[in-house]
Structures are given as structure tokens and as C-alpha cells.
Structure 1
Amino acid sequence: MVLEAAGRPRTVAVVSNTQDAGKSFISINLAQSASALDDKVVLIDADLRRPTIHERLNVPRTPGLTSVLLGSDLSEALRKVAESPFLRVLSSGPPVEDPSAILGARAFRVVLDTLRAVRLVVVDTPPSGLFSDALAVASQCDATIFVLDLKNSKQQQVRQALEELQRAGANVVGVVVNRTEVVNRSAYYEA
């Protein structure tokens, strides 16, 4: 697993450069897989512009991350996921006027530090190619996984997104490639 090779980071941002690349799907599956190993895992929905984690995992949206960043109690905002006893979800919370500012503030780092007893914190972000929120989050996490939509991403856009993450101080440890074409190679075995 990529995270093992990266020295088992405690906080992992999941970033894509485009909308609908599958980063929320990857975030959820990473968190559920890690929690299946009886590790305590928290999944944070930091995509404050288009949050989906609460809907996909059937947990309330509020209170959530924005509530905590504005002073609410973190323990009251963490939600259990019925089929994953070791997984907790911190939904996005109510909408805020300036997501980039609130995620780039010290309060987000405090949330990550408060969760230090947890084995893994997975943070779903908005697309880095559209908003600076992802850069603010990724720069505060130990590792970043970049999700690439192969059908809808141009090489220059991907290169630029990875360079921006690097300049922001993100530690990109792996790339997940989504929406690839399956090539039938059965002829190779029939020869």
C-alpha cells in the first residue's frame, strides 16, 4: 500500500485537479479499508464547496468541520458509521463564506492535532485545479494522494496541479488513476 511506503503517515489529504475525478470515492474507501483493520480512523469532508461524504455514508452534515473550526466541540461533531465500528466521520458542516480562509487558518491544524490519538485521518478536499482550499489542506497533512481522472485530465493540467501542491508544501506520496480504458489483451495469451 502506498501509505506503508510513505512511512505510515497519520494525516492524508486526497486531492484531484478536476471535479468528479473520484477523490471522494477514494477517500471513503481508504478510510473504510483502514478501519477494517481495527484501526481508529477519521474521515474529514473538507470539500466545503461541494460536500458529499455525509450523503454517501448517511450521516448528518451538521455539526461538522466548519462548526468545529468556528468553536464547536469536535467530539460532538464526529459521527459513527453503522457498518464501520472504527470509523468516525467529520462532515463538512454548514456552508461558510470563505472556505479557503477557514481551511488555511490555524484552527484546521488544531483539529488535525486534536485527532492525534487516531491511527489515520483521511481528508477529502475540493479539486486543486479549481480552488486553493486543497492546497491549504494538503500542506497541513503528512501525505497527499493525488487522484487523476485519465479521461478528463490534460497532461499540462496534471503537471501544474502537482507543481502547485509541491510549492504549497504538500507531500505527494502517490497517484490513483481513475477512468482508464480497459484494453483486451487476451490475444497475447492465445498466441
Structure 2
Amino acid sequence: MTKILRIDSSIKGDASITKRLTDKVVDQLGGEVIARNATTIPSIDGAWIGAAYTPADQRSDEQKALLALSDELIAELKSADTVVIGCGVYNFGVTGPLKAWIDQICRVGETFRYTEAGPEGLAGPKRVIIAYASGGVPVGSAFDFATPYIKQVLGFIGISDVTIIAAEGVAVDENAAVAKAEEQILHLAA
């Protein structure tokens, strides 16, 4: 059975368009779902960075506690076959909660490592489907800073199979934008 990790990152909760889209994507794909609401994930700080860069066998109990959530999030990511990410666009970029999830899962020695040839991703391969919604920023436009950023981060940790389902222009015509995205979802293969 396919294992799906679902990341919702909108501060709008059940009123979120991306949450509605991730619901539909997960239903279309079927499988076992691990759901993660990124709005509960804290931002990293200096103490977290210090813990992450301390060798695992030298970490204090406090450092281990600081990384416990990150360890859990990384385990969820690594165990998934498919990751479904709800990506609302706020001020041309990803939401703060989505950024917090990204920061927690990007860890040297866990999801990437540095080599003589450059960084090497350790989290892939797996499939990612991004459920994107924006008021007026089309995917791939000069003002779309969200999808290139997510693709860069995913590529950095070894994930290159990325599909974007886009509800663009919801501020202009929400029904039409959502209908277009839902049509794209219908064509996703499990």
C-alpha cells in the first residue's frame, strides 16, 4: 500500500483552498496517510542549529530534545512513498509554517550530506505533489518565488519527482481556479 505524507501549511485551517486540494489529492491517490499540520511546527533557532551540527554521539540530552520533532518529521518523510504538500502563496513565497517544516527536515547527515562533488540528497527518491494556491501569482511567473524554492529544497535533499497542481488567481475567480486544479487532480495516477 502506498504511504502518503500530507503536509498542510495554511493558517486558514479548514477555510484553506490548499487544504481542500490536499484532501482531493489524497483521496485520488488512495493509500495510508500520515497527516502533518505544519502550523504547529516551531521555527528553528540558534540552539537548534547547534544541536543539529553536534555529532549525534556527542549531543546532550537537551540537544536531543531540541531535535526530537525534527527526527520525527524526517522519519515521516523518509517512510513516505508520496508527499502531498499544501502550498498557499503569501506575499509571493511559501507560508511561515511550510518554511518551518522545511527547516526541520533539512538536516546535514539526515536528509543531505556534503561531498567533494557537492551536496548529496539522502531523502529520495519519492514523488511529491504540490497543491498550490495563489490570489494572482501564476506558477512559473516572474513573481512565483514559492515553487522554484520548494523544488530547489526538494532537489537538495534528493527528491526530483515534483508535480504541481495549481489553483491560480483565486482572488479573481476562486471557483474557476479551484475547478482547474481539481481537473488536474483527476488526472493524477495513483
TM-score where L is the length of structure 1: 0.42
Considering Cα pairs closer than 8 Å and 6+ residues apart, tell me whether 1 or 2 has the greater RCO. 1
TM-score where L is the length of structure 2: 0.42
